[in-house]
Structure 1
Amino acid sequence: MVNNIDYEHTWVWKPDWEIRSDIKGELFWSPFVDKDDINVTVINGVATLAGSVSTYSERQSAEDNAYEGGAKDVLNNLSVTYKNYGPYYYNGAYGPHSYVR
């Protein structure tokens, strides 16, 4: 299967305060992101995400939310901390993909 979908992110100018507000709204309503540990700043349309999230997928979802909120570009400075999810937990002694049952 070949994917011939061409996606180009087009940016429509908005003031920084409005972009920040829209990004915070996207993060608030996202079922994939815990917004409490994410700080958002916007300068000249470029959003910077700082703080921590639980997983790499949550980190990517937060970046996607920033683009959906109107950012021209996103600097994703979110750090990933693993939390205990069910029967598996992160064991950093064996590398970033080490999970113990």
Structure 2
Amino acid sequence: MKNDSQLQRDVMAELEWEPSIDHADIGVAVTDGVVTLSGFVKSYPQKLAAEKAARRVAGVKALAEEIKVRFASDPKTADHEIAKRILDMFSWNISIPGDKIAVKVEHGWVTLTGTVDWYYQSEEARKVAGKVNGVVGVSNLIEVRKLPTSGDIKDRIMAAFKRNADLDAASVTVFTDGGKVTLGGKVKAWNERQIAERAAWAAPGVTRVEDNIIIAF
């Protein structure tokens, strides 16, 4: 005797096998051999075809049919359609790093997860998701990355200087103001200055580097 999981897989396979049915929006649940079909189809004949397909699967004891007919002109509110619409809107919005955010939709409820650099990015994603037709609510679980402080940036740059055998770390000064780094001091050759500048740019959180290092020939 088939268990419910196997029966569910068989019904889904039969729906997929039937050429007259667009099964993409049909859900299948099975409890003690009783199959429940839910979701949407594009016509009444497809609704009947789905019911027949499920009934002919061996092991089905009873059928609860909750499929709704939705025409092409009707709003697209299936969960996967909502999710796709949200992802599309993320890709169009330059304020939202869509590649860092995951979208889950369950019965119209949207859950956003991931990590972004700034709070406004998380808030913009929440607002955009909430505007999509069919969304009944949004759980914003996006985390905002803790960006390095000026002190953190300076410490990381100085540590990078000390690791480099071709640079006299003691001869270079580092001043930080937010994401801006100002380099000063004296070095003996151009390549030392270039090493110092590259190390400064490599530190997380750096948005600008002002190189005031003097070459002492």
Q: Distance in 2 between matches of 1:63 and 1:15?
A: 19
Tell me, yes or no, if the aligned pair for 1:13 and 1:45 is still in contact at 8 Å. no
Equivalent residue runs for 1:66-77 within 5 Å: 66-70=129-133, 71-77=135-141
Greater helix content: 2
- Equivalents in 2 of 1:25, 1:83: separation in Å? 28
- Provide TM-score, normalisation by structure 1: 0.67
- CA distance in 2 between counterparts of 1:31 and 1:82 reads 21
Contact 1:39 1:51 in 2 (8 A): yes
Distance 1:33 1:83, change over 3 A: farther
2:152 is aligned with 1:88? no
Partner residue in 2 for 1:79 = 143
AA partner of residue 108 (structure 2): G
Match for residue 111 of structure 2? Answer: 48
Cα distance in 2 for partners of 1:88, 1:69 equals 37
Q: Which residue type is aligned with residue 178 of structure 2?
A: Y
Work out the CA distance in 2 between the residues paired with 1:24 and 1:82.
25
**Matched position secondary structure for 1:31:** coil
Task: Indicate if the aligned counterparts of 2:76 and 2:82 stay in contact, CA closer than 8 A.
Answer: no
Secondary structure of the equivalent of 1:60?
helix
TM-score (norm 2): 0.33
Equivalent residues in 2 for 1:24-39, closer than 5 Å? 24-39=87-102
Percentage of matched positions with identical amino acids: 26
Mapped partners of 2:76, 2:85: distance in 1: 13
AA aligned opposite 2:118: T
AA at the equivalent of 1:79? E
Runs of 4+ off more than 4 Å: none
1:57 aligns with 2:135: no
- Change in CA separation of 1:62 and 1:31 when aligned onto 2, cut-off 3 Å: same
Report which structure shows greater RCO (CA 8 Å, sep ≥6): 1
Q: Distance in 1 between matches of 2:146 and 2:85?
A: 28
**Counterparts of 2:118 and 2:78 in 1: how far apart (Å)?**
31
The structural deviation recorded for 1:83 is: 4.3
Aligned equivalents of 1:28, 1:69: Cα separation in 2? 14
**Greater Rg by CA:** 2
Structure 1 unaligned runs (5+)? 1-11, 90-101
Can you give the 5+ residue segments of structure 2 that lack an aligned partner in the other structure? Answer: 1-74, 149-176, 180-217
